[in-house]
Amino acid sequence: MATAEKSHDIADISLAEAGQRRIEWADRQMPVLAQIRERFERERPLEDVTMACCLHVTTETANLIRALLAGGADVALCASNPLSTQDDVAAALVDRHGAQVFAINGEDNDTYYAHIAAAVERRPQITMDDGADVVSVLHGERTDLLEGVIGGTEETTTGVIRLRALEAQGKLGYPIVAVNDAKTKHFFDNRYGTGQSTMDGIIRATNVLIAGLRVVVIGYGWCGKGVAMRAKGLGANVIVCEVDPLRGLEALMDGFEVMRGVDAARVGDVFISVTGNRDAINGRMFAVMKSGAIVCNAGHFDVEVNKDELDEITAETFETRPFVEGHRTHDGREIFLLADGRLVNLAAAEGHPAAVMDMSFANQALVSEHMVKHAAELEKRVYPVPEEIDAEIARLKLASRGVDIDELTEAQKQYLASWDQGT
């Protein structure tokens, strides 16, 4: 049977029990999403809405899918990265929750795209992307389905960049909300989530002692700040490379060494790219790296590490540990590439902790509801997350930790709104 005709395509349905237990564990750390799921169960705001979701198939995503299903949606899920799928979670989603899942860990490129095609074949009214892959298919080979789409959401920086490019060319086929740009997303997910899980991925893959190493972080955006902060916390001497002078200055004042990539390459022990850009780690850097250097990427696509240029100087590759590929160079050095240059925090660790994804995915769920409610008013544009959704999620998250904050008094509100008070 062709993939698109199946109701699911996963590795092994017998893994469902193990997957379900892990989904429930994550659920315990996701109180905001749980509250939304309970409300969705009562109100059914997504009744009969077809959704194609292209996300990392992890326990946290499973809890988002549960919320969407509770809201009445008909959900097809495919992977946004071939290495991040957790097969037990895919099994539980199919077996215990009735989702249509098309994702197998380690699937080859053809299967990966066949799975996206299968989700798109469900004629989605709402798309949910992490890297704009569904959007790309709908704006490429399946423009016939664009008309039926009410709207979409985008989870990550790289996807938003692609969407803005489509919008700028007047080619965006339906409204999309940039969930990535919500404050309750990137302040926490990109910074604390990527920060912790990237270091976790490096440590799990290599078991190196980070203390005392020179860790080079390339890109000092939201993710880079988190990675640099956590690497420093583990005792590394952190070097930051940037192309934006403001971000470079910020890194300097945050207490890090800042230098050009090629200079950092000579002294670094571990290299982590988080730029959203190609060739952040490149041939000029590989040429001067010390033997033993460890190279990885936490940006969305593996193009951040120019693997072709690494291959050009490689005499032979050799296996060391899972996710650690050794490259012996023609001049006798050894460079170790983690997770084939793909997201190291998802491939070699478990991605973001659930407590962080709680807020990102609460945004996804509430924005889907918003899209259905406001479908008639929305234009073919990239929209920010409505401020009230952001504020509501932050409020719920604080409440879930038992934290109360102060409210402005009337006098304070007046003071902040005036121009003639204050001296």
The pair phi, psi for residue 109, each rounded to 5°, is -55, -45
Quick check: helix, strand or coil at residue 53?
Answer: strand
Name which position in 58, 85, 153, 345 contacts ligand NAD (CB under 6 A). Answer: 345
Instruction: Report if residue 241 touches ligand NAD, rule: CB under 6 A.
Output: yes
The one segment of 25-33, 102-110, 240-248, 332-340 that binds ligand NAD by CB under 6 A: 240-248
Comparing CB distances to ligand NAD, the nearer of 272 and 371 is: 272
- 275 lines the binding site for ligand NAD (CB under 6 A): yes
Euclidean distance between CA atoms 89 and 67, whole angstroms: 15
Q: Count the neighbouring beta carbons within 10 Å of the beta carbon of residue 291.
A: 11
Selected range binding ligand NAD among 4-12, 59-67, 74-82, 213-221, rule: CB under 6 A: 213-221
CB of 277 to ligand NAD, least distance (A): 3
* Out of 52, 65, 280, 295, the residue judged to bind ligand NAD by CB under 6 A: 280
Q: How far apart are CA 377 and CA 197, in angstroms?
A: 39
Cβ 384 to ligand NAD, closest distance in Å? 15
Query: Minimal CA–CA distance to 103: which of 83, 120, 122?
Result: 83
Applying CB under 6 A, which part among 76-84, 109-117, 171-179, 294-302 lies near ligand NAD? 294-302
Distances (CA, A) of 172 to 132, 138, 177: 12, 10, 12
Count of residues that bind ligand NAD according to CB under 6 A: 28
Q: Which of 161, 34, 155 has the alpha carbon at shortest distance from 84?
A: 155
Q: Is 299 in the site for ligand NAD (CB under 6 A)?
A: yes
340 in Cβ contact with 201 (< 8 Å): no
Q: Which stretch binds ligand NAD (CB under 6 A): 28-36, 62-70, 119-127, 243-251?
A: 243-251
Give the whole-angstrom CA distance, residue 188 versus residue 387.
16
Q: Do strands 237-241 and 257-258 pair parallel, antiparallel, or not at all (unpaired)?
A: parallel
Contact status: 129 vs ligand NAD (CB under 6 A): no
Among 222, 256, 271, 286, the residue binding ligand NAD under the rule CB under 6 A is: 222
* Site for ligand NAD contains 71 (CB under 6 A): no
Cα–Cα–Cα angle for 62, 301, 231, rounded to 5 degrees: 85
- The reply to whether 298 sits near ligand NAD by the rule CB under 6 A is yes
Which residues of this protein are in contact with ligand NAD, per CB under 6 A?
A: 156-158, 186, 190, 194, 218-224, 241-244, 247, 274-277, 280, 298-300, 343, 345
